[in-house]
Amino acid sequence: MRRIPHPIPYQGSKRHLAAAILPYVPAGRQRFFEPFSGSAAITLAAADQRLAQHYVISDVLAPLAEVWGMIVNRPQALVEGYEDVWLSQVDDPAGTYNRMRDEFNRDHDPVKLLYLLARCVKASVRFNRYGEFNQSADHRRLGMRPSILEREVAGAHALLAGRTSVLACDFRDVLAKTTPRDIVYMDPPYQGTTNGKDQRYLAGLPVGELTEALRRLNDRRVPFLLSYDGFRGKQRYGEDLPAELGLRRVLLNAGRSTQATLNGKSEVTVESLYLSPALVDTLTVKGPALQPPASFPVFGRGSAAAPSRAARVIARSGDRTPARRRRWAAGHPARRGPNGRPDAPRSGRPLGNALTLNGTRRGLDSACRSW
Ligand SMILES: C[S@@+](CC[C@H](N)C(=O)[O-])C[C@H]1O[C@@H](n2cnc3c(N)ncnc32)[C@H](O)[C@@H]1O
């Protein structure tokens, strides 16, 4: 498999398992849905192999979905915005990070989220109980260089533009749009990452709610794949899913655990991939054998250049003049009001759609935003 672009640093990304998961995705589907998209690693890999006619990327974290909307529709605006923020940090990286985090918690600007993800500890989102991003900066590095981001965004844009819809939605609202002619890949938050004072993701997901949604997909014969639980050494993570769902479980070798290696242990992580009954029927009839491939290539860093068509898109991104960089360094005044004071936070730009914190659906409107 070719190297797949990876524009959004995101803890929990499935890019290292893409080559192991894709053999279970049948070709020729009408639409490929990824309703817990995060960095959308599997969508990008599927698009690289042209497995579907259309792709739907969706996440409950609206600014993250908006980053995807920009990658698909306005890549140069994203790259320029990121470069401006990134350059503005040179004299005071720690102060800039804190300022961007404060601003993001007010305005939910997708460019700021991308910068925070590039700079924060382990590229891992964390939200407090008020839904505020509260992850700290990793002070050992400045985050992905703009030239690297430009290359990754260009590559992703080339794969997705013209054939992708982006939504900010609760996964249930996305699943309601699927039909048996589609294919759905889901990588929901694990139980262990959704509870407690600080949450890894904006919204948690009780296993019962997930199970109910899977049951409905089965009833409608919509084929799906689900990454859910696994093992690290002898330690198991994630709960068992009910047997009556009829899912076929495949174990994927996710490689050595970095943390265990640091601790002098040599533990392999094994992740489960569940295949729905409708999918198993499809694969049995015309797909690959239901055995995982013997070895799983791990993508190397920077091993291939971005596609040239994409490079041309980014090349049209216009001048980034020193004056413009200085304006950003002086406090991002492009977003200031006419009297020089910062504009009020953008109202009507919610952080999450259709779901409140802690995984319940209280009080938020269920309309999806789309790009
Ligand atoms: C494990 S991560 C997915 C990582 C992804 N597979 C990748 O390759 O980067 C889970 C994602 O689900 C999102 N999420 C959590 N609860 C959700 C919900 N109820 N509906 C939609 N998305 C949700 C989180 O914001 C997070 O981005």
pLDDT in tens, 136-191: 999 999 999 999 999 999 999 999 999 999 999 999 999 999 999 999 999 999 76
CA dist 116 → 35, 128, 149, 221, 353 (Å): 22, 15, 14, 40, 21
Q: If pLDDT is split at 50, 70 and 90, which confidence band does 352 have?
A: low
Q: Taking a C-beta distance cutoff of 8 angstroms, is the pair 352, 362 a contact?
A: no
For the CA of 34, the nearest atom of ligand 1 = 6
pLDDT for 301 equals 25
Ligand 1 centroid–CA 187 distance in Å is 6
pLDDT for 36 equals 97
Ligand 1 centroid–CA 37 distance in Å is 5
- Which residue would you say has higher pLDDT here, 5 or 332? 5
Q: Is pLDDT at 272 greater than 50 in this prediction? A: yes
- The amino acid at residue 370 is S
Write down the CATH number for the domain with range 15-370: 3.40.50.150
Q: Taking a C-beta distance cutoff of 8 angstroms, is the pair 61, 36 a contact?
A: no
Ligand 1 centroid–CA 235 distance in Å is 23
Q: If pLDDT is split at 50, 70 and 90, which confidence band does 261 have?
A: low
Q: Is the CB of residue 52 below 6 angstroms from any atom belonging to ligand 1?
A: no
What pTM was computed for the model?
0.81
The protein residue whose alpha carbon is closest to atom 8 in ligand 1 is 13
CA distance linking residue 98 with residue 91, whole number of Å:
14
Q: For 240-254, 268-282, 334-348, which range has the lowest pLDDT when averaged over its residues?
A: 334-348
Q: Which positions ≥6 away from 82 have C-beta within 8 Å?
A: 111, 114, 115, 118, 146, 149
pLDDT for 362 equals 35
Ligand 1 centroid–CA 38 distance in Å is 5
pLDDT for 349 equals 61
Ligand 1 centroid–CA 189 distance in Å is 6
pLDDT for 202 equals 63
pLDDT for 21 equals 97
Q: Is the CB of residue 63 below 6 angstroms from any atom belonging to ligand 1?
A: no
Pocket of ligand 1, candidates 124, 167, 186, 201: which has the most ligand atoms within 8 Å of its Cβ, to mutate? Answer: 201
Q: Is pLDDT at 13 greater than 70 in this prediction? A: yes
Portion of the chain with pLDDT greater than 70, in percent: 72
